[in-house]
Amino acid sequence: MKYQNTQIGWFIMVIFLLIPVHLTYAYFAQIGNNPLSFPAYLALSILFILIILCFYKLQVKVDQSGIHVIFGIGLIHINITPEKVYQVRVVHTPWYYGLGIRFTSKGMLYNIQGSSAVEISYLDGKKKTVLIGSNDPTALKDFIKEKYLVENE
């Protein structure tokens, strides 16, 4: 049995796609007194395309090997082994926590949309907490509790 959920970050994609489009227009139209040079245009376009590739989706997988949180194409990911999980609950994240990867007072937040998250507390040498943004936090919490916490008690 396995849980898998993928969320697409439309807001992030639109914002970060508009920037390379604007850069392309600015470069080819040679706008301003000091127009954008080709190396600067290329570097900035590549940077924003890499940002899109790294953050366009958030995929959460839960299986027998653990909890896997994967951003975009997978350059950014975390794995939590099941035997280390000791508490799971649904929380509401305030709007000022934002999107993406954030340091919060509760722990690391991995979020791509919305204000609902699953707070997972686990042991990794010391007590750690991670918040995983989800469009269906109750299903994720219930699956983790059913799969891991019952076995660990």
pTM for this model (two decimals): 0.82
From the number of C-beta atoms within 10 Å of its C-beta (0-12, 13-18, 19+), residue 73 rates as middle
Q: Is 146 helix (H, G, I), strand (E, B) or coil?
A: helix
Buried b (16+ CB within 10 A) or exposed e, 95-116: eebebbbbebeebebbbbbeeb
**pLDDT tens-digit readout, 53-92:** 999 999 999 998 899 999 999 999 999 988 888 999 999 9
DSSP bridge pairs for 59: 6, 70
